Amino acid sequence: MTLSSRASELSPQWLLKVSVGVAVLTIALKGLAWWLTGSVGLLADAMESFVNLAGAGFALLMVTIARRPADAQHPYGHHKAEYFSSGFEGLLIILAAAAIAWTAVLRLLAPQPLAQLGWGLGLSVLSSVINGLLAWAMLHSARQHRSLALEGSGRHLLTDVWTSAGVVAGIALVVLTGWLWLDPVVAIGVALNIVLEGGKLVWRSAQGLMDEALEPEVMTQVQKTLEAYHHPSVRFDHISSRRSGRRRFVDLHMHLPANWSLGRAAAARGAVEQALMNAVPGLRTTIQLLPSDREAHVDEEGEQEEEDLR
């Protein structure tokens, strides 16, 4: 079994629990690195780790809620809770970026020398390696479980890794050139990069809450499955889809001969539903049966009307 497959089998909840512990560890490592060196770039890196901790904790809560079964108040389940996690983490990232930029501007106006760079950089690199390994495992598991909360946390950690790399590079340039202003400039660059990542997470969360359609490759698989159902008197139309957290939904109309018995029509619909679920794991289908000589239309207000074509 490959490392990728092992990572994919890890549950989102377990990985997010690990992420909370790793966030606490990296806060300690990066905080110590900042204390030793006095680098505002390393301070910015440490502040982002606090965001990692808050984001991981909230993501764990939302993933736990998303796994709750459907109930009377939530007949379609609680899967959209993961979108709140992604949006919340995005907002936290943007707030952290604002704090980092403010600190960097103050240091830019009053540059200070750096100290004990060897220990500081070593601690920063160690924390980055830990975050990088965890981010890799999270992203592989997120693809397997279709977890937006886990993907958001993984991408945030990956951004944190690149942030740390930029900070280390900036400090190295300070050592080589003696230009103390490079340290706060690098911190400002870190803040801008974090804002972009936070904006992406907020946007993805908003798209998910607005019932975004299924991925094009998934819809292609749905179309191929329907085309494989060979019967001259059966056709499909009005196919629509949406995503809700880990769940995927497809609605469509199935037109059958009017003289078919109810039992035969139900059996045909059941065969199509099973074929779609086999083709797309986790798919939930709603198929409306209509006679071949009747059509259904949806007006601009979303109300369905039937028109007799005879």
Domain 3-209 has CATH 1.20.1510.10: yes
What is the value of pTM for the model shown? Answer: 0.57
Across the range 7-31, mean pLDDT stands at 79
State the average pLDDT for the chain: 77
- Please tell me the predicted confidence (pLDDT) of residue 305: 45
Instruction: Render pLDDT for 229-251 as a digit per residue (tens, 0 to 9).
Output: 878 888 898 898 887 766 788 99
Q: Is the pLDDT of residue 283 over 50?
A: yes
287 compared with 96, residue with greater pLDDT: 287
Among 104-113, 124-133, 248-257, name the one with the lowest average pLDDT: 104-113
Q: CATH topology of 3-209 equal to that of 216-308? A: no
- Residue matched to tokens 């230009």: 179
- Please tell me the predicted confidence (pLDDT) of residue 41: 66
Q: Is the pLDDT of residue 298 over 60?
A: no
Architecture of domain 216-308: 2-Layer Sandwich (3.30)
Domain ranges of the chain: 3-209, 216-308
27 compared with 197, residue with greater pLDDT: 27
- Please tell me the predicted confidence (pLDDT) of residue 253: 93
Amino acid type, 153? S
Q: Is the pLDDT of residue 18 over 80?
A: yes
Q: Is the pLDDT of residue 277 over 80?
A: yes
**pLDDT level of residue 114 (50, 70, 90 thresholds):** low
Q: Which residues on adjacent β-strands are paired with residue 251?
A: 240, 286
**pLDDT level of residue 73 (50, 70, 90 thresholds):** confident
Tokens of 42: 């390393």
- Using DSSP, how many helices (H) and how many strands (E) does the chain show? 9, 5
Rounded-to-integer distance, Cα 47 and Cα 184, Å: 14
Q: Is the pLDDT of residue 14 over 70?
A: yes
Across the range 255-262, mean pLDDT stands at 91
Instruction: Render pLDDT for 189-213 as a digit per residue (tens, 0 to 9).
Output: 777 877 887 787 788 777 767 777 8
Rounded-to-integer distance, Cα 77 and Cα 15, Å: 22
Going from the C-alpha of 22 to that of each of 1, 66, 111, 156, 257, the distances in angstroms are 26, 23, 32, 13, 61
Number of Cβ atoms within 10 Å of the Cβ of 187: 28
